[in-house]
Amino acid sequence: MTVAGTTTEAASSAPSGPSPDRGGRRLSRMLHPVAWWVWALSLATAVSRTNNPLLLFLVLAVLGYVVTARRTEAPWARGFKYYLYLALTVVAIRVVFRAVFATGITPHDHFLFSLPRIPTPDWYAGIKIGGPVSLEALLSAATDGLRLACMLCCIGAANTLANPKRALRVLPGALYELGVAVTVAISVAPQLVQSVQRVARARKLRAGRTQGMKALRGIAVPVLEDALERSLRLAAAMDSRGYGRAGTATRRSRRATGALMLLGMCGLCAGAYGLLDATAPAFLGLPAMAAGAVLCVAGLRLGGRRVTRTTYRPDPWRPAEWAVVGSGVVSAVLLFTNLGYDPAQLNPTFYPLTWPELPLVPTAAILLAGAAGLIAPPPAPHRPVRKAESA
C-alpha cells in the first residue's frame, strides 16, 4: 500500500480505462476491499434473477477470469477452488434430492431410470419417495442448483479478491460493540481456506493415509478447530487494540444505540418478509423496510459518534474502485429492468425440453461485470510487497 500511497498522481493518471497491464506499466496495488464486495454482491443479485444455464455458466467463467487475473498471492486468495467444490456439492445435492423425492413424470417426459419406490400411506400421498426419474426433472434441478452455486461463487470471489482484514476496518464504528462476533463472522471463511491448505500440506509431508473416511476426520477436525481459533485470536488481538470497547459512552447512550439497532433489525426482517410474501399486508413491505433502515442508520450514527478512530495507511478510493463497483451495479440493474429482452428468456423451461436462448442484454451485462478483471489494477506480483502488506 505504501507504493500506491506515495505515487498518487501516477495512479490517478491510470483511470478506469480498460487498458491491459503490459509488463507492469499500470501501477499495481490492491483494490479497496469494499469495491470487490459491492461488485460481487451485485453480480450475485444479478444471478438471483436468472435460471438460464448459459448465463449461469457465463457468470462462472467471468468469476474465474476475474479471480485468476486480479487475486493477490495472499493465503486467502488461493481458495477459489474450494468455493467451486462447495458449488459442485450444492448442485449434486439438489439433483439427488430431486431424483429421490420424485416430482412426478408425465408421458411427454424423457424417462431416464427408475428408483425403487417406497410406498407411502394414502394420507401421506403428497410426498413420493423413489419412482421414475425424467431427464427434464434432473436438468431443472441442476440449473436450480447451479444458480445457488453461482451465488456462492460470487461470495467466494469476494473473499478471494478482497483482503478480509482490511475489509474489517471499514465497518461502521458502532459495530465495535459486536467486536468479536463481527470479526469471526467476516474472517472465518478465509481462515477456513487457509487452514485447509495448511492441514493438507502437513498431511502431505507426513505421507500418511490420504484416502477414506479416516482421512476426512483427520482433516475436518483440525481445520475447523484451527479456523475458529485463528478467528478468535484475531478478535483478541483487535480487542487488545481497543476494538470492541465502549469508550466514553454513557450507559444511557449505549442503551439507546442498542434499542435503535434492535428495532431497526426487526424492521428490516419484517420488511424482507413482507416483500417476499405476496399475501402479507402492504405495510409490512417497503414501509417496514424503510423504517428499519432509518432506525439502523440512526443507531449506527449514534454509536459511531463516540468512537474516535484514527487510520494508519488508509485504503484509497480512486476511479478504478468506482469503475469496478459501477460495472457490477450496472449489470445487476440491467438484469432487473427487463429492457431489450423477454423476461422469459431469463428463466427457460425444460418442460418440454427446449434449448435455452441467450438474450443479448443480459449477456452483455455479465460481460460488463467481467470487465472488472481488466479495469482493476493488477495485484502486486512480488513477495516483498506482500510482506509489507501482511505486516
Site for another protein in 362-381 (CB under 8 A): 363, 367, 370, 381
Instruction: Please choose, from the candidates 376, 387, 386, 383, the residue with its C-alpha nearest in 3D space to the C-alpha of residue 67.
Output: 376
Question: Phi/psi of residue 163, each to 5°?
Answer: -75, 115
Instruction: Please choose, from the candidates 31, 14, 15, the residue with its C-alpha nearest in 3D space to the C-alpha of residue 66.
Output: 31
The verdict on 97 binding another protein (CB under 8 A) reads no
N- to C-terminal Cα separation, the chain: 11
Three-state DSSP state, 106: coil
Contacts (Cβ under 8 Å, ≥6 apart) of 90: 145, 148, 149, 152
Rounded distance, CA 110 to CA 129, Å?
19
* Residue of 1, 14, 73, 198 that binds another protein (CB under 8 A): 73
* Residue of 1, 75, 128, 389 that binds another protein (CB under 8 A): 128
Applying CB under 8 A, the span of 130-138, 155-163, 217-225, 253-261 interacting with another protein comes to 130-138
129 strand-pairing partners = 118
> What's the closest the beta carbon of residue 96 comes to another protein, in angstroms?
15
Please tell me the number of Cα atoms within 13 Å of 50 on its side-chain side: 35
Applying CB under 8 A, the span of 62-70, 254-262, 304-312, 315-323 interacting with another protein comes to 62-70
The verdict on 197 binding another protein (CB under 8 A) reads no
Q: Which is nearer to another protein, 54 or 158 (CB)?
A: 54
The verdict on 357 binding another protein (CB under 8 A) reads yes
Q: Which is nearer to another protein, 303 or 356 (CB)?
A: 356
* Residue of 6, 8, 114, 337 that binds another protein (CB under 8 A): 114
Please tell me the number of Cα atoms within 13 Å of 246 on its side-chain side: 10
The verdict on 31 binding another protein (CB under 8 A) reads no
Applying CB under 8 A, the span of 39-47, 96-104, 198-206, 266-274 interacting with another protein comes to 96-104
Residue 134: is it exposed, middle or buried by C-beta count within 10 angstroms (0-12/13-18/19+)?
buried
Rounded distance, CA 164 to CA 188, Å?
9
Rounded distance, CA 386 to CA 382, Å?
7
Cell of 65: 477470469
Q: Which is nearer to another protein, 107 or 251 (CB)?
A: 107
The verdict on 143 binding another protein (CB under 8 A) reads yes
Applying CB under 8 A, the span of 8-16, 127-135, 190-198, 231-239 interacting with another protein comes to 127-135
Locate all alpha helices (DSSP H) within 101-134, ordered by sequence: none
The verdict on 217 binding another protein (CB under 8 A) reads no
Please report where in the chains the cell 468469476 appears, as a residue: 63
* Residue of 35, 44, 54, 238 that binds another protein (CB under 8 A): 54
Binding stretches for another protein (CB under 8 A): 51, 54-55, 57-58, 60-62, 64-65, 67-69, 73, 98, 102-109, 111, 113-114, 117, 122, 125-126, 128, 131-132, 134, 136-137, 140, 143-144, 277-279, 342-344, 346-347, 349-358, 363, 367, 370, 381-382
